[in-house]
Structure 1
Amino acid sequence: MHASLLQQLNCCPAPRSEILCFPHAGGSASYFQRWAAHLPEGVILRALQLPLREDRLELPPLTDMAELVRLLIKEVTALPKRPRILLGHSMGAIIAWEMALALEQCRQPVSHLFISGQTPPDVMRQTQFHLGSDQQLIAEVARFSATPASLFEFPALRELVLEQLRHDYALIERWQPTTTKKLSSPITVLHGREDSEVTQHQAQCWSKFTSNEFRLYNWPGDHFYLTTHWQAILHQLCQRLFSHTSDMP
């Protein structure tokens, strides 16, 4: 049996709530692993593990957002119902957004949606890096320093990393918003002040996509500000999770 797309990163004997995390292009579930040791009791941490990496290395690519969301919804709706928060960064923010919409349609709305490092769904994407040359793809990811340049110096690693990146860029660049509907769950946007990919105004425009509470927090740093500020961000998530949990009967 293939490993789950949503991998549990911590041991939680008596779960009461969950945080589901969705990483950036080229990222994996292990990006969030260090969060596991800092979680309060009763909180499960799960993170998306796409094909072509770690324990899903041999699985075929998933480059269609609708198919990915369908598979994720199947996994999530099979889990016990409990308060859930979604956090997505960069590419992962779009997956989290589509997941939140789909879960609402399944009458399992999320407690809160956290969006990080991503423009709103009505901002059209014009790039086609998944169709470009290896050098174009390497140059693109080099702008963020998310993928160490040293990985491209070793032929076997270079081939694998490029395959992962091409897979993920195809997933996000082929994506088209499924709806202009507002989410009923609250949305919090996390924004790096020096992020070259998302302006302050664009981050604020996520407010149009919820009929509930909206918050915007700015953090020092570029597109990957959360690599530095992850503990403070995790604290924000847990605060929101417990505020919703305390409202439960």
Structure 2
Amino acid sequence: MTTAADEIAARWLRRYHPADADAVRLVCFPHAGGSASFYHPVSARFAPSAEVISLQYPGRQDRRKEPCVADLGTLADLITEQLLALDDRPTVFFGHSMGAALAFETAWRLEQKDAGPREILASGRRAPSTTRAEEVHLRDDDGIVAEMKRLNGTAAGVLGDEEILRMALPALRGDYRAIETYSCPADRRVRCDITVLTGDADPLTTVAEAQRWQDHTSGAYRLRSYEGGHFFLVQHLAAVQAEIARALTPAS
């Protein structure tokens, strides 16, 4: 029998492919305006040896009628609640852009319950306590579209389809509000390892800002830089997947 808790979990946690009973878990955190389906290729690549869970935030796709969660801490609390309900198994987090900060905050909360991941792969995001004055969420619709084009994060076909674009704008605005108002204490650290993936021409993250992730872990820290901008991971999918494969492989 499907319970109310099962129905709520199904809204948050998407599994596109079956996994082996003893599979390691990979939890994927989308970028601002992004959806769980962004990680479908990752699920296809690593299942069934990994249980790939893609998060679906409220306010988009089949959850578009739900209000966006415009506070990153609140969103991390809600995700933490869902992940705590899962069975215990080795887990890796992957998050891009806003998703990287959200993965960090979720990992920190889970570690308070002794249920944290063994590694975070933080992609396309400066260190949590490194701030900039950003107000994209305060722009009009045209201003948000201009930012999307600058980052090349959305296909040109979507940008040219007014109906689809209008459906996406509330989620974009809500997510930008969440990440642009996010504040992290400088001394907040996780115990798990952190691997940072960054584009060398990312307008939102300099290499120096990416390096400051090492201040937020007492575990191992690694930095990998790739040619490209904010969505370098699309261009370097194979290399990024190789990093995920390394993280999912138990240390000998």
One-letter amino acid matched to 1:229: H
**Do the aligned partners of residues 40 and 50 (structure 1) sit closer, same or farther apart at CA in structure 2, a change above 3 Å counting?**
closer
In 2, Cα distance between equivalents of 1:154 and 1:239:
39
What is the TM-score with the length of structure 1 in the denominator?
A: 0.92
1:61 aligned onto 2:41: no
1:120 aligned onto 2:92: no
- Deviation for aligned residue 1:85: 0.5
What is the TM-score with the length of structure 2 in the denominator?
A: 0.91
- Deviation for aligned residue 1:63: 0.9
Q: Which runs of 5+ in 1 are unaligned?
A: none
Q: Residue deviations 1:186-224, cap 9 Å, x none?
A: 110011122122111111111111111111111121111
1:168 aligned onto 2:158: no
Match 1:196 to one of 187, 203, 208 = 203
In 1, Cα distance between equivalents of 2:167 and 2:238:
30
Q: 1:193–1:222: 8 Å Cα contact kept in structure 2?
A: yes
In 2, Cα distance between equivalents of 1:125 and 1:10:
38
1:206-221 equivalence runs, <5 A:
206-221=213-228
Match 2:57 to one of 50, 55, 66 = 50
One-letter amino acid matched to 1:76: L
Q: 2:76–2:105: 8 Å Cα contact kept in structure 1?
A: yes
Match 2:96 to one of 89, 106, 112 = 89
1:223 aligned onto 2:221: no
In 1, Cα distance between equivalents of 2:193 and 2:114:
16
Q: Report the RMSD for the aligned CA atoms in angstroms.
A: 1.7
Counterpart residue number, 1:75: 82
1:146 aligned onto 2:147: no
1:236 aligned onto 2:243: yes
| 3-state SS, counterpart of residue 80 of structure 1 | coil
Q: 2:20–2:51: 8 Å Cα contact kept in structure 1?
A: no
Q: Percent identity?
A: 33
Counterpart residue number, 2:44: 37
In 2, Cα distance between equivalents of 1:204 and 1:13:
36
**Do the aligned partners of residues 117 and 208 (structure 1) sit closer, same or farther apart at CA in structure 2, a change above 3 Å counting?**
same
In 2, Cα distance between equivalents of 1:150 and 1:12:
34
- Deviation for aligned residue 1:70: 1.4
Counterpart residue number, 2:164: 157
Q: Which runs of 5+ in 2 are unaligned?
A: 1-6
Counterpart residue number, 2:3: none
